[in-house]
Amino acid sequence: MSIVIKTTQEIEKMRVACRLASEVLDYITPFVQPGVTTGELDRLCHDYMVNVQDCIPAPLNYAPPGHKPYPKSICTSVNHQVCHGVPGDKKLKSGDIVNLDITTIKDGWHGDTSRMFAVGEASIQAKRLNLITYECMWKGIMQVRPGHHFGDIGHAIQKHAEVNGYSVVREFCGHGVGSKFHEDPQVLHYGKPGTGERLEPGMIFTIEPMINAGKKDIRSLGDGWSIVTKDHSLSAQWEHSVLVTETGWEVLTLSSGSPPLPAFVTPA
């Protein structure tokens, strides 16, 4: 494993790319309403990134080994879709929950973040899943500091999910991010304290737990990208890009429209 330690200048460039990614989510928020298609949300985000922010949407035509090029500029994962949902003609309806996953490229650097949205009036169960998943992400972030291990992050997430009756998807994880979309390390959302590589200042990676209301098992759809829960239970995901500082953590993908932090979050 070769984890890139960013320089001060590179961190500044990452701050810009990450803030812009979060601002795309701020921009699209009022459009996430019953009746809108996921394809329309993709078009709006694409135009905002390209024409307003002068960014490149990283997912568009992204083709990791074994995959055909991703055809859209954002990912839209609705209800039981876990991740990588491909935007299309599907209209959102009241009661749906949807994850919008945004990755911008600005001056060669990637900013990666996602949020959950409740469309119209979601059920109490759906709102609770969104909330607990958001807390899971922040439980993981709170473990970020020099000398801690990646296993500490995964353990904190897994513990909070399971004590609340949910399961953690195992097949997908967070990742290093920088001049490349996906870098080392892999950041598992489950694990044991004190295991894995030690965190060092200058590391930047995503924490993006996928939490299922039912069992953890998943399957792929025929489009080659979309992942869904096997038992058709709801799934939620939140994502931030996080910098390891000299004393703790800095979340790079925050903007004026980011949701309030959970009450248990204390400054790094």
Query: Which residue type sits at 49?
Result: M
Place of tokens 């994502």: 239
In 3-state terms, what secondary structure has residue 144? coil
End-to-end Cα spacing for the chain: 27
Q: What is the pLDDT of residue 248?
A: 97
- Residues 182, 176: contact at Cβ < 8 Å? yes
Tell me the HSE value of 89 on the side-chain side, using a 13 A CA sphere: 0
d(C-alpha 78, C-alpha 97), whole Å: 6
Q: What is the pLDDT of residue 1?
A: 64
Which ranges of the chain have pLDDT less than 50?
none
Structure tokens at 241: 């890009």
Could you confirm whether domain 8-251 is CATH 3.40.50.300?
no
d(C-alpha 174, C-alpha 197), whole Å: 14
Tell me the HSE value of 126 on the side-chain side, using a 13 A CA sphere: 18
Q: What is the pLDDT of residue 157?
A: 98
Q: What is the pLDDT of residue 267?
A: 81
Structure tokens at 202: 């200058």
Residue 162: count other Cβ atoms within 10 Å of its Cβ. 15
Q: What is the pLDDT of residue 67?
A: 86
The pTM for the full model equals 0.97
Place of tokens 């001049």: 179
Q: Where are the domains of the chain?
A: 8-251
d(C-alpha 155, C-alpha 145), whole Å: 15
